[in-house]
């Protein structure tokens, strides 16, 4: 027996795939706009309109696929006695957003299942979304940045891309996406179909900007590799909206988050509980949401750094001798804490702006000695670990200028930069015969604890993943 989605919506298809439902989709090719206009003119209650549309779709496809389960879904936006359709133009979107800004609207999502051209089941969900007030300038900016994403959205704002627009939401992620997947699966399970499928868990990486992040690639690989019902997405959140947007996303059912710049310190402050490492580092890159909606903040950068060196650094031992860390930014802070906890007997810290390194050393109160940037080569013969925690050597950035001629022959050299993977520092160290470790491993390993917490499986960093991320 087949299961058919009577829709061409990529969002609904993705939800079903993430739930591991076996299905195929067929577009019903109906004139939704004309049907909606006719129903509105006839005085049809708004709550019934998406049901009529969903049923129309399911019935049409079911008539040609008698033996299959056919799911029809539809969604409308209702506000102030008016139904808002997909924006036909930028002008129409401007008009819609002007009316919606600062107000609470309803997204009404209907789900209908047919078999043998007869209705077998239906479910309707109503989500309430309160949008922040927006100036005309903000609306125009939104249209300029998001028109391609929102023009095919029944709501006109593509929630998965723009949750920062909302101050409060009462609803469920999947109902807002346009398919009530939990209820659909309950029906299918009752009829012995898709027995192993389950409601996907959702996690996300939050940043500004975030389009460069490789985290979705990594976590989706792990989800597929472990046959887990789930998804991982990237959401760009303006700095001023971060805390409330996290609350909104928790309210709609997101299981957890990775956090990147510039939100790491804010993420720590908004959490209900914090791990010892997160407190020591003063920032969080991982947020875990429990069943009560409470948030725990963690920082896994240090875990990723040490795990990478232990996995790829041969016989590297943190306690073998002092370390020299170049850079005093957020990443360096995590490196210093993790090296000290791992047993490094002493750390030399240097930064182009010495005061920044001194401030970091004073805050951590560890075995850290700050040295001048120009003095770093004088200590190379005494160290066992050399770490570049600056952006120098990254694609598009200035090169890191350092000579390794006097470096201890047993030292390990690692670079947090991973674009390119083989940085000039690592290339120089390899040519001189030193043990080297690329920063790409830290990126991969730092994602392991969060994935484990969100999805219940401890993922593996393997060559397949490394090739996927570096190709």
Question: Which residues are 127's β-sheet partners?
Answer: 107
Peptide bond into 262 cis (omega under 30): yes
Contacts made by residues 137-144, CB under 8 angstroms, sequence distance 24+: 139/94, 139/97, 139/98, 139/101, 140/94, 142/97, 143/90, 143/93, 143/94, 143/97
Judged by DSSP in three states, 54 sits in helix
Judged by DSSP in three states, 331 sits in helix
Catalytic site residue from 57, 201, 214, 264: 264
Task: Report strand pairing: 69-79 vs 82-84.
Answer: antiparallel
**Which domains does the chain show, CATH number per domain?**
3-190 (3.90.950.10), 201-300+447-470 (3.40.50.10860), 309-444 (3.40.50.720)
Question: Which residues are 170's β-sheet partners?
Answer: 128
Question: Which residues are 118's β-sheet partners?
Answer: 115
Location of structure tokens 């993790």: 338
In this prediction, residue 308 carries a pLDDT of 97
pTM of the model: 0.92
Please answer whether residues 393 and 423 qualify as being in contact, where contact means their C-beta atoms are separated by less than 8 angstroms. Answer: yes
Question: Which residues are 415's β-sheet partners?
Answer: 388
In this prediction, residue 201 carries a pLDDT of 98
Please answer whether residues 330 and 355 qualify as being in contact, where contact means their C-beta atoms are separated by less than 8 angstroms. Answer: no
Closest of 128, 18, 37 to residue 82, by C-alpha: 37
In this prediction, residue 367 carries a pLDDT of 85
Other CB atoms within 10 A of residue 437 CB: 24
Q: State the Cα torsion 380-386-387-393 to the nearest 10°.
A: 70
Closest of 3, 9, 24, 431 to residue 195, by C-alpha: 3
Helix (H) or strand (E) holding 191: none
Q: Going residue by residue through the chain (471 aa), what tens digit of pLDDT does each one get?
A: 699 999 999 999 999 999 999 999 999 988 888 888 899 889 999 999 999 999 999 999 999 999 999 999 999 999 999 998 888 899 999 999 999 999 999 999 999 999 999 999 999 999 999 999 999 999 999 999 889 888 888 778 999 999 999 999 999 999 999 999 999 999 999 999 999 999 999 999 999 999 889 999 999 999 999 999 999 999 999 999 999 999 999 999 999 999 998 999 999 999 999 999 999 999 999 999 999 999 999 999 999 999 999 999 999 999 999 999 999 988 899 999 999 999 999 999 999 999 999 999 998 877 899 999 999 999 999 999 999 999 999 989 999 999 999 999 999 999 999 889 999 999 999 999 999 999 999 999 999 999 999 999 999 999 999 999 988
CA distance 331 to 238: 21
Burial class (CB in 10 A: 0-12, 13-18, 19+), 433: exposed
Catalytic, 354? Answer: no
Residues in the chain: 471
Q: State the Cα torsion 212-400-352-397 to the nearest 10°.
A: -30
**Dihedral (CA of 84, 90, 91, 93) sign:** positive
Please answer whether residues 293 and 250 qualify as being in contact, where contact means their C-beta atoms are separated by less than 8 angstroms. Answer: yes
Closest of 461, 439, 467 to residue 449, by C-alpha: 461
């Amino acid at each position: 027996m087949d299961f058919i989605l009577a829709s061409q919506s990529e969002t609904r298809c993705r939800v079903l795939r993430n739930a591991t439902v076996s299905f195929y989709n067929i577009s019903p090719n109906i004139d939704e706009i004309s049907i909606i206009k006719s129903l509105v003119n006839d005085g049809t209650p708004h709550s019934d309109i998406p049901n009529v549309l969903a049923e129309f779709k399911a019935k049409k496809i079911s008539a040609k696929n008698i033996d299959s389960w056919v799911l029809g879904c539809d969604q409308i936006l209702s506000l102030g006695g008016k139904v808002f359709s997909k924006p036909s133009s930028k002008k129409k979107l401007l008009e819609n957003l002007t009316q919606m800004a600062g107000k609470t609207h309803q997204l009404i999502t209907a789900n209908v299942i047919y078999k043998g051209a007869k209705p077998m089941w239906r479910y309707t969900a109503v989500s309430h979304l309160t949008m922040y007030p927006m100036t005309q300038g903000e609306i125009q900016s939104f249209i300029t940045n998001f028109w391609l994403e929102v023009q095919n959205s029944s709501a006109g704002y593509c929630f998965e891309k723009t949750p920062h627009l909302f101050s409060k939401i009462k609803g469920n992620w999947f109902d807002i996406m346009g398919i009530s997947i939990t209820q659909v699966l309950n029906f299918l399970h009752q009829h012995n179909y898709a027995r192993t499928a389950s409601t996907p868990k959702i996690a996300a990486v939050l940043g500004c900007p975030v389009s460069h992040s490789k985290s979705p690639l990594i976590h989706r690989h792990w989800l597929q590799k472990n046959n887990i019902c789930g998804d991982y997405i990237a959401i760009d959140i303006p700095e001023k909206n971060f805390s409330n947007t996290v609350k909104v996303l928790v309210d709609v059912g997101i299981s957890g988050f990775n956090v990147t710049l510039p939100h790491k310190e804010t993420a720590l402050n908004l959490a209900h509980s914090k791990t010892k490492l997160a407190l020591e580092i003063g920032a969080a890159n991982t947020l875990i949401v429990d069943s009560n909606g409470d948030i725990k903040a963690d920082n896994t950068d240090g875990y990723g750094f040490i795990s990478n060196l232990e996995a790829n650094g041969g016989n590297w031992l943190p306690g073998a001798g002092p370390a020299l860390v170049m850079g005093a930014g957020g990443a360096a802070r995590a490196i210093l804490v993790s090296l000290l906890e791992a047993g490094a007997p002493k750390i030399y810290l240097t930064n182009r702006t010495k005061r920044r390194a001194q401030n970091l050393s004073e805050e951590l109160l560890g075995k850290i000695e700050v040295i001048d940037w120009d003095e770093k080569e004088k200590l190379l013969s005494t160290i066992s670990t050399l770490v570049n925690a600056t952006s120098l050597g990254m694609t598009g950035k200035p090169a890191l200028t350092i000579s390794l001629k006097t470096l201890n022959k047993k030292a390990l050299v690692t670079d947090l930069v991973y674009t390119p993977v083989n940085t000039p520092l690592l290339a120089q160290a390899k040519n001189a015969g030193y043990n080297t470790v690329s920063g790409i491993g830290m990126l991969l390993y730092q994602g392991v604890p969060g994935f484990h917490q969100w999805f219940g499986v401890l993922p593996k960093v393997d060559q397949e993943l490394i090739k996927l991320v570096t190709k």
